[in-house]
Amino acid sequence: MDFRIEHDSMGEMRVPANALWGAQTQRSYENFCIGTERMPREIIRAFAILKKAAAQANHDLGGMDERTCTLIGTVCDEILAGRHDDAFPLVVWQTGSGTQSNMNVNEVIATRANQLREEAGVAQPLHPNDTVNMSQSSNDTFPTALHIAATQALAEHLLPAVRELIATLARLEWEHEGVIKAGRTHLQDAVPISFSQEISGWRGMLEASVEQIEATLPHLSRLALGGTAVGTGLNAPKGFDEVVARHVSELCGRPFQTDPNKFHALASKDAIAFAHGAVRTLAANMMKIANDVRWLASGPRNGLGEISIPENEPGSSIMPGKVNPTQCEAVTMVAVQVMGNDVAIGFAASQGNFELNVFMPVIAYDFLQSVGLLADAIHSFNVHCAVGISANREKMAKNLNESLMLVTCLNPHIGYERAAQVAHKAYAEGTSLRDACLALEYLTAEEFDRVFKPEEMV
């Protein structure tokens, strides 16, 4: 492999000849051969947004000439378009401040900008620290990139997927209006419920999750940028924090503002932990919904069999004709991963000392993995399962009519204890509630038929 010589404050480094990165990236690449988890592309793209915004703010405040500002913006646009994805090779398991990824971005922008410098009419070479990182520190850029990436992932990926599933459930409610089925609590028979009511419970969970996730976005909109190394704003011009937040908002098309307390913004990761808590709650709701669906679809002959779901793949390599609820299983596995990530993020957010949290790369990786997996799983569950759910009305009616808990409607007429006797007698003798009630002479046939109306119990 051909190499070129780059240098940083520690000396010279050999860098692959065609690589856009420089010495500091190369040091990290060689020093942290840990795992296969790369810094998420969402973080790199968020860095490109903030670097472009920082250049615009520096220009507005008189610290950078217009041509250099435009040149940095051009390269950032190339990064946002995915043109240089192979230029960001660093792993998650690096310095806890994310300094090396910040410098990776700085070096790539400087190297690429210097390739374009002559045609852009920029006189002086761009330096990764002095030019691209002007008025910034890794300590305020990484948490800013984290908030930008988290906000975009939630607003543009996860919430749309959830809303699609909500729309599907609303349609299923309407289609199954008036279909009465047995309710179940503790995995035991309970009083009747309509299938549309059961579906509305699923829909309500997701609508609540949307509200909870949306409630986290104002906290994520507060940016650390402008705090520089320890929150004091050293080496950043006055007003830089507000100006750069305005430019980030314009570039993202979403409202961001500077965090009024930069010491909090650098030292604490409470906003991201709070947001992931809402993501975890959505995962818990999806776990519940997916489990309900696979229970209701269990069978086809020896399970509940009250609903049908799409048959997408063969379910066994040895049992011919077997089909499994695979979309439900994928959702539940993703939910488990998200719950594990929530534990990791909670621990990571509690760490760091004094002026800086130094667990940011793992927080970023776990947060974005949770959001990406959950969004994809919800979309897949919707398209490949939920849209095809249909009620097996005959099986629902059969299970409903055999439910002993229909006896509950007799409570006002014969009392709880007598109704319990009716249920126990019917179960022990394998008879109907009607036969048991008549045998015990608690009601006449006419009285029983008048008050025993399962369809009115919902």
pLDDT tens figures, 400-421: 999 999 999 999 999 999 999 9
Element at 399 (helix H, strand E): helix 393-401
User: How sure is the predictor about 183, in pLDDT bands with cuts at 50, 70 and 90?
Assistant: very high
Domain with CATH 1.20.200.10 in the chain: 143-225+262-394
Paired tokens of 97: 């401040």
Average pLDDT for the chain: 97
Q: How many whole angstroms separate alpha carbon 367 and alpha carbon 152?
A: 12
The type of residue at 7 is H
DSSP-assigned letters across all residues of 138-187: HHHHHHHHHHHHHHHHIIIIIHHHHHHHHHHHHHHHHHTTT-EEEEEETT
pLDDT at 66: 97
Strands 257-258 and 222-223: parallel
Of 319, 322, 338, 320, nearest to 330 (Cα)? Answer: 338
HSE toward the beta carbon, residue 9, CA cutoff 13 A: 5
**pLDDT tens-digit series, residues 322-359:** 999 999 999 999 999 999 999 999 999 999 999 999 99
CB distance 251 to 49 below 8 Å: yes
Percent of the chain at pLDDT above 70?
100
pLDDT at 16: 97
CB distance 138 to 161 below 8 Å: no
Give the pLDDT mean for 123-139: 97
Paired tokens of 99: 């300094």
Q: How many whole angstroms separate alpha carbon 276 and alpha carbon 4?
A: 43
Q: How many whole angstroms separate alpha carbon 45 and alpha carbon 108?
A: 13
Quickly tell me which residue has 């011919």 as its tokens: 320
CB crowding 328-363: b at 16 or more within 10 Å, else e: bebbbebbebbeebbebbeebbeebeeebbebbbbb
Q: Which CATH architecture has domain 3-134?
A: Orthogonal Bundle (1.10)
Q: Catalytic pick from 7, 316, 350, 424?
A: 316
Per CATH, which fold does 143-225+262-394 belong to?
Fumarase C; Chain A, domain 2 (1.20.200)
- Helix locations, 221-325, DSSP H: 240-252, 262-267, 270-296
Residue 309 clears pLDDT 90, i.e. is over it: yes
Q: How many whole angstroms separate alpha carbon 312 and alpha carbon 284?
A: 25
pLDDT at 215: 98
CB distance 22 to 83 below 8 Å: no
Task: Return the CATH class of domain 403-456.
Answer: mainly alpha
**pLDDT tens-digit series, residues 84-124:** 999 999 999 999 999 999 999 999 999 999 999 998 899 99
Domain with CATH 1.10.40.30 in the chain: 403-456
CB distance 153 to 368 below 8 Å: yes
Q: Catalytic pick from 84, 127, 137, 186?
A: 186
Backbone angles phi, psi at 389, to 5 degrees: -70, 135
Paired tokens of 383: 């398209």
Residue 22 clears pLDDT 90, i.e. is over it: yes
pLDDT at 1: 81
Q: How many whole angstroms separate alpha carbon 317 and alpha carbon 113?
A: 55
Q: Is 186 a catalytic residue?
A: yes
For residue 177, count other CB atoms closer than 10 A to its CB: 12
pLDDT at 227: 98
∠ CA 287-206-327 to the nearest 5 degrees? 40
Cis before 325? omega within 30:
no
Paired tokens of 240: 């830089």
Q: Is 138 a catalytic residue?
A: no
Strands 188-194 and 3-8: unpaired
Give the pLDDT mean for 11-16: 97
User: How sure is the predictor about 453, in pLDDT bands with cuts at 50, 70 and 90?
Assistant: very high
